[in-house]
């Protein structure tokens, strides 16, 4: 059995966090493609547990919540009843601290009430007090936030209306985002000082650039949901602990007081490997399973 050296493991994980696909990482590092995939799965699993152990008891003044789309295995239109919930559209819910720019909570699953409630309950367990919350117009957020945070939390949602005439035959019309023709801000409860999801929406762009599984118009998409979830967990841990944010010139973890320095990829690798032996599962919702 071949065992990768620590330096080679660091090289593989560094390549994955810089947006290379599994195949490209295998070519660049000279590591077998199956070994790259197995390492990515194990480290991603450890990163999920690292997040669970570190992102807790946080005081956050304001949170922004939004969801990011990708598909697993096949497009939703090709999913059959026999495929179940593990294939087709998958949404990654993200809660971002607007000041620290840290990803406080995240969860991958279907864009439905079950996933939304699980996600908001997880978020509630990580933060202290009642932070101000902004979200998009997804209808499941209101009941979930009331259940977890109560009716007095300062919560507002931003609802964007897109042009229905966006679809076009030319390439620019097919691949560019739909035009926003109206933006409405609605106070749901309390008195929010600001209603905006700009920071978390910008963080979605960083995720798409940093993980090949989220790249549009490519074949780098995940073929299995557990690998997709592991890729998200790897990104979140790298983003929080290793990648300095331009707004702070340090990492979100340092901004939150969770670390006193910017982690190297080697430190992240060691922490994830230590956590990967724990018996806890992925941060993913599959039907009735969490």
Give a yes or no: residue 55 inside a domain: yes
Give SS3 for 24: helix
pLDDT of residue 219: 85
Of 76, 201, 31, 63, the residue nearest 132 (C-alpha) = 63
User: DSSP for 135-189?
Assistant: E-S-TTHHHHHHHHH-TTS-EEEEEEEE-TT---SSHHHHHSPPPEEEEEEEEEE
Give a yes or no: residue 1 inside a domain: no
pTM over 0.85: yes
Instruction: Show pLDDT as tens, one digit a residue, over the chain (290 residues).
Output: 358 899 999 999 999 999 999 999 999 999 999 999 999 999 999 999 999 999 999 999 999 999 999 999 999 999 998 888 899 999 999 999 999 999 999 999 999 999 999 999 999 999 999 999 999 999 999 999 999 999 889 999 998 887 766 555 555 555 566 777 788 899 999 999 999 999 999 999 999 999 999 988 888 899 999 999 999 999 999 999 999 998 889 999 999 999 999 999 999 999 999 987 644 433 444 433 32
- Interatomic CA distance for residues 4 and 185, integer angstroms: 52
Which CATH number does the domain housing residue 243 bear?
A: 3.30.420.10
Q: Domain of 73? A: 6-275
Give SS3 for 69: strand
Of 223, 205, 203, 204, the residue nearest 213 (C-alpha) = 223
Domain total for the chain?
A: 1
> Beta partners for 48?
none
Give a yes or no: residue 287 inside a domain: no
pLDDT of residue 31: 95
Give a yes or no: residue 288 inside a domain: no
Give a yes or no: residue 283 inside a domain: no
pLDDT of residue 288: 33
- Interatomic CA distance for residues 1 and 55, integer angstroms: 36
Give a yes or no: residue 16 inside a domain: yes
pLDDT of residue 181: 79
pLDDT of residue 264: 97
Q: What is the CA radius of gyration of the chain?
A: 19
Give a yes or no: residue 163 inside a domain: yes
How many secondary structure helices (H) and strands (E) does the chain include? 10, 6
Give a yes or no: residue 127 inside a domain: yes
């Amino acid at each position: 059995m071949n065992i990768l050296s620590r330096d080679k493991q660091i090289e593989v994980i560094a390549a994955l966090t810089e947006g290379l696909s599994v195949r490209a990482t295998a070519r660049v590092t000279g590591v077998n493609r199956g070994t790259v995939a197995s390492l990515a799965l194990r480290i991603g699993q450890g990163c999920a547990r690292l997040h669970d152990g570190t992102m807790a008891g946080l005081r956050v003044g304001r949170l922004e919540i939004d969801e990011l789309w990708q598909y697993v295995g096949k497009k939703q239109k090709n999913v059959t009843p026999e495929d179940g919930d593990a294939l087709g559209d998958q949404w990654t819910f993200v809660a971002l601290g607007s000041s620290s720019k840290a990803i406080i909570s995240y969860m991958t699953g279907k864009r439905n009430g079950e996933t939304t409630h699980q996600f908001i309950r997880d978020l509630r367990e990580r933060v202290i007090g009642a932070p101000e919350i902004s979200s998009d117009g997804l209808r499941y957020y209101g009941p979930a936030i009331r259940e977890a945070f109560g009716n007095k939390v300062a919560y507002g949602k931003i609802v964007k209306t897109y042009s229905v005439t966006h679809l076009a035959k030319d390439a620019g019309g097919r691949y560019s985002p739909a035009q926003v023709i109206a933006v409405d801000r609605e106070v749901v409860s309390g008195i929010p000082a600001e209603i905006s999801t700009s920071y978390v929406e910008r963080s979605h762009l960083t995720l798409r650039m940093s993980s090949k599984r989220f790249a549009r118009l490519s074949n780098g998409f995940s073929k299995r949901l557990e690998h997709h979830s592991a890729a998200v967990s790897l990104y979140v841990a790298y983003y929080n602990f290793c990648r300095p944010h331009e707004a702070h010139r340090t990492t979100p973890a340092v901004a939150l007081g969770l670390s006193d320095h910017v982690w190297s990829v080697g430190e992240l690798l060691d922490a994830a490997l230590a956590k990967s032996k724990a018996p806890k599962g992925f941060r993913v919702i599959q039907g009735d399973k969490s």
